[in-house]
Homo-oligomer: A and B are copies of this chain.
Amino acid sequence: MATIKDVAKLAGVAVSTASYALNHNSRVNAETAKRVLEAAKTLNYQKNGIARDLKRSKTETIGIIVQDLSGPFYSELMRGVQDTLLTHQYGLIACSSIGGNVTTASKFLQERRVDGVIILAESLPDELILQSVREDFPIIVLDRKLDSDSIIHVLVDNFSGGYQATQHLIDLGHKDLAYIGGPSHNRDNQLRFEGYKQALKDSCITLHPSWILQGQYTREGGYSAAKILMMQGNAPSAVFCANDEMAVGALKAFKESGLHIPEDLSIIGFDDIEISQYISPPLSTVKQSNYEIGSLAAHLIYQALNEGIEGKDYILPTELVLRKSTSAAKKMEA
Contact = CB atoms under 8 A, between A and B. Distances in A.
A297 interface: no
B91 A93 contact: no
A107 B91 contact: yes
Nearest to A103: B91
Nearest to A94: B94
A107 B69 contact: no
A155 interface: no
Nearest to A63: B93
A93 B94 CA distance: 5
A72 B72 contact: yes
Interface string A92-116: 1111101100111001001111000
Given A82-B98, A135-B1, A111 B76 contact: no
Nearest to A96: B82
Q: Binding site of A, secondary structure by majority: helix, strand, loop or mixed?
A: mixed
Contacts of A63: 93
A51 interface: yes
A47 interface: yes
A306 interface: no
A63, A69, A77, A110 interface centre (most CB from chain B within 10 Å) = A69
B82 A102 contact: no
A29 to B, nearest CB: 26
Interface string A228-256: 00000000000000000000000000000
B107 A50 contact: no
A26 interface: no
A48 interface: yes
A67 to B, nearest CB: 12
A309 interface: no
B82 A93 contact: no
A313 interface: no
A194 B93 CA distance: 37
A186 interface: no
A78 B69 contact: yes
A59, A112, A135 interface centre (most CB from chain B within 10 Å) = A112
A51 B49 contact: no
Contact of A113 (B50, B94, B132): B50
A241 B7 CA distance: 53
Given A70-B82, A93-B94, 13 more contacts: A46-B110, A46-B132, A46-B134, A47-B110, A49-B112, A50-B54, A50-B112, A69-B82, A69-B92, A71-B75, A91-B103, A92-B95, A94-B95
